């Protein structure tokens, strides 16, 4: 990233000497700044690496806004589409908001849950499907990165068995009409905007990787958050409420929820390991115990028994010490 280019861009649009500060980013290559113009509201400046298409974010943002959801309005785009100025939702991210107002957790999470069904009917035929290949690629991260980081290297036969289990579960997960899936619906990508009404009180960012996928996926993302603990009683109540909202049977709901939780958290364990080892971002390792706990909770459900059995067999055959083994 060229900081001189960033400074010149801010000067051209907001005036000489306009202050700006770097904002810690996400796991992507994008970088963010907060611009603080005199006598104007702050803005967010996003820098995109070459090859990234801001058009996708703009298109999806309009779709979400038309459904009554809150997304940052894009205000300025540089000629090369690498610099994007957006509305600033401020210090209202769910994670930070709840640190200052823990008594509001139920109200805020209930509103975040209520916004998910509003995503489902959004018509985006151009979105890629969350298909079998996508599920397989993500589950592969668990055996490609997480297990080897603990000196566990499954044999070709063991990997084949893992893939066969994945294929059977994925087939069940895909036996349902796909809906719009945010794909990263958690407390660091959601904002609480109390001055707005209804589902618009939940602001959303980082939706540019949305896919057409499973109706429960975003609920799993929200309630099995890698970055903060979610109260179990509240989580159970929200799951029950969501199940009634979408009209599913209890058994059908619980099986799919557990399977999606295993899939997502196995993927995250692989991604966070890769971020630490390949991308020199070790801060993500601090979240691993929470993600492992989510994985273990999913494995307690009979719908995830094939994965649990595979891990138990791997444990017996590798004889490598791993804290995760002890709780299977």
Confidence of residue 2 (pLDDT cuts 50, 70, 90): confident
Question: Strand order in 43-47's β-sheet?
Answer: 20-23, 31-35, 43-47, 83-87, 74-77
Instruction: Determine the average pLDDT of the residues in 273-296.
Output: 96
* pLDDT for residue 219 is more than 90: yes
Per-residue model confidence (pLDDT) at position 39? 85
Any idea which of 37-51, 180-194, 238-252 has the lowest mean pLDDT? 37-51
Please write the tens of the pLDDT for every residue from 190-212. 999 999 999 999 999 999 899 99
Cα angle: 127, vertex 130, 134; to 5 degrees? 120
In angstroms, the Cα distances linking 88 to 35, 45, 213 are: 9, 9, 29
Per-residue model confidence (pLDDT) at position 198? 94
What kind of fold does domain 3-87 have according to CATH? Phosphorylase Kinase; domain 1 (3.30.200)
Domain with CATH 3.90.1200.10 in the chain: 94-327
Confidence of residue 15 (pLDDT cuts 50, 70, 90): very high
Residue 322: count of CB within 10 angstroms of its CB: 16
CA pair distance 235, 253, nearest whole angstrom: 14
Retrieve residue 281's tokens: 């971002």
CA-wise closest residue to 89 among 199, 204, 221: 204
Backbone angles phi, psi at 15, to 5 degrees: 105, 155
Per-residue model confidence (pLDDT) at position 291? 98
CA pair distance 28, 33, nearest whole angstrom: 15
Per-residue model confidence (pLDDT) at position 325? 76
Please write the tens of the pLDDT for every residue from 99-112. 888 889 999 999 99
Instruction: Determine the average pLDDT of the residues in 287-315.
Output: 97
Mean pLDDT across the chain, nearest whole number? 93
Helix 105-119 to helix 232-246 angle (10° resolution) is 30
Handedness of CA 116, 119, 121, 124 (dihedral sign): negative
Domain with CATH 3.30.200.20 in the chain: 3-87
Confidence of residue 1 (pLDDT cuts 50, 70, 90): low
| CATH for 94-327 (3.30.460.80, 3.90.1200.10, 3.30.950.10, 3.20.20.70) | 3.90.1200.10
* pLDDT for residue 322 is more than 90: no
Confidence of residue 91 (pLDDT cuts 50, 70, 90): confident
Instruction: Determine the average pLDDT of the residues in 69-78.
Output: 94
Retrieve residue 69's tokens: 């959801």
Per-residue model confidence (pLDDT) at position 26? 65
Q: Is 239 within 8 Å of 223 (Cβ atoms)?
A: yes
Instruction: Determine the average pLDDT of the residues in 220-224.
Output: 98
* pLDDT for residue 124 is more than 70: yes
Confidence of residue 159 (pLDDT cuts 50, 70, 90): very high
Instruction: Determine the average pLDDT of the residues in 67-72.
Output: 96
Any idea which of 26-30, 32-36, 178-182, 291-295 has the lowest mean pLDDT? 26-30
């Amino acid at each position: 990233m060229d900081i001189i280019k960033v400074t010149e861009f801010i000067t051209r649009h907001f005036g000489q000497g306009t202050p700006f500060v770097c904002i810690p980013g996400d796991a992507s290559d994008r970088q963010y700044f907060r611009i603080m113009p005199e006598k104007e509201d702050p803005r967010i400046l996003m820098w995109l690496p070459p090859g990234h298409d801001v058009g996708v974010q703009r298109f999806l943002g309009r779709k979400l806004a038309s459904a009554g959801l809150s997304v940052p309005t894009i205000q300025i785009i540089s000629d090369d589409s690498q610099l994007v100025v957006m509305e600033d939702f401020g210090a209202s991210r769910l994670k930070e908001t709840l640190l200052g107002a823990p008594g509001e957790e139920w109200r805020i999470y209930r509103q975040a849950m209520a916004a998910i069904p509003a995503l489902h009917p959004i018509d985006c035929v151009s979105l890629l499907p969350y298909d079998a290949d996508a599920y397989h690629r993500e589950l592969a991260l668990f055996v490609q990165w997480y297990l080897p980081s603990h000196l566990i290297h499954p044999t070709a036969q063991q990997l084949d068995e893992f893939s066969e289990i994945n294929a059977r579960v994925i087939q069940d997960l895909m036996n349902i009409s796909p809906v719009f899936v945010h794909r990263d619906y958690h407390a660091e990508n959601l904002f609480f905007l109390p001055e707005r009404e209804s589902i618009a009180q939940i602001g959303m960012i980082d939706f540019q990787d949305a896919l057409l996928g499973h109706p429960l996926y975003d609920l799993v993302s929200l309630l099995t958050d890698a970055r903060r603990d979610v109260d179990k009683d509240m989580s159970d109540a929200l799951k029950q409420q969501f199940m009634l909202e979408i009209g599913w049977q209890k058994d059908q709901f619980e099986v799919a929820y557990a399977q999606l939780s295993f899939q997502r958290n196995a993927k995250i364990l692989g991604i966070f390991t890769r971020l630490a080892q390949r991308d020199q971002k070790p801060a993500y390792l601090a979240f691993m115990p929470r993600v492992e706990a989510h994985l273990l909770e999913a494995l307690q459900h009979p719908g995830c028994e094939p994965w649990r059995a595979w891990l138990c067999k791997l444990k017996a055959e590798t004889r490598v010490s791993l804290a995760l083994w002890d709780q299977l």
